[in-house]
């Protein structure tokens, strides 16, 4: 009888082990799911005016304020070689660009969106002529365009240049809301060759 009692007691022990292992596995899955949700971060609430479309774009409020004392983060891009828009001769530019940002996670996001960023920058450079890029003002205008195009590629809301010019003239008549800050603080040229 002692052997029969031992055999009857063994199956419930195996069942308890299975139950404990399954409960532990379930708890592990729940914990991993919670960690994944926390790492993805909270999505911004949908804008009353924009609905679901506005929630897909990063909010301007999520942008960190620029602190002049903070150490900047520089993200160098591979050099660009682009045919320029000159009609009288075939001209090209070789441009090295480094983006200055103040938010470390944005640096990782830039790496993810690099193909779209490079495309937008190439198109912005290709729209210029050698004469436009030969002046300091032309380079400053290109740097501003690169900031805008990079921000667009990252999914940030960017006002068109035409809208900005209209708002500048309208500001003289009536004050309007300021445009949202761009995630790129500055654009630096590491080389600039026009041939």
155: left (phi over 0), alpha (psi -120 to 50) or beta: left
Look at residue 118 in the predicted model and tell me its pLDDT: 97
Closest CA to 77 of 191, 194, 193, 195: 191
Q: Answer for the pair 109, 67: CB distance below 8 angstroms, yes or no.
A: no
- For the segment(s) 64-194, the CATH number from 3.30.479.30, 2.30.30.230, 3.40.640.10, 1.10.580.10 is 3.30.479.30
Look at residue 30 in the predicted model and tell me its pLDDT: 72
Look at residue 49 in the predicted model and tell me its pLDDT: 45
pTM for this entry: 0.60
The domain segmentation of the chain, as residue ranges, is 64-194
Give the list of residues 6+ apart from residue 117 with CB closer than 8 angstroms, or none.
77, 110, 149, 150, 153, 154
User: How many residues does this entry show for the chain?
Assistant: 195
Residues of the chain with pLDDT under 70: 1-14, 33-68, 161-179
């Amino acid at each position: 009888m002692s052997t029969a009692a031992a055999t009857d007691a063994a199956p419930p022990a195996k069942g308890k082990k299975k139950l404990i292992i399954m409960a532990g596995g379930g708890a592990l899955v729940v914990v991993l799911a919670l960690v994944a949700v926390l790492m993805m971060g909270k999505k911004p609430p949908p804008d009353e005016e924009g609905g679901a479309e506005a929630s897909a774009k990063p909010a301007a409020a999520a942008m960190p304020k620029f602190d002049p004392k903070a150490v900047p983060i520089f993200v160098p891009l591979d050099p660009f070689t682009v045919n320029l828009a000159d009609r009288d001769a075939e001209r090209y530019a070789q441009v090295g660009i480094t983006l200055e940002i103040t938010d470390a996670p944005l640096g990782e996001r830039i790496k993810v969106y690099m193909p779209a960023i490079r495309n937008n920058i190439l198109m912005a450079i290709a729209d210029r002529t050698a004469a436009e890029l030969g002046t300091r003002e032309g380079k400053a205008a290109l740097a501003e365009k690169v900031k805008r195009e990079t921000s667009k590629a990252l999914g940030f809301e960017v006002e068109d240049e035409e809208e900005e010019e209209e708002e500048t003239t309208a500001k003289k008549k009536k004050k309007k809301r300021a445009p949202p800050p761009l995630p790129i603080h500055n654009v630096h040229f590491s080389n600039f060759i026009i041939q």
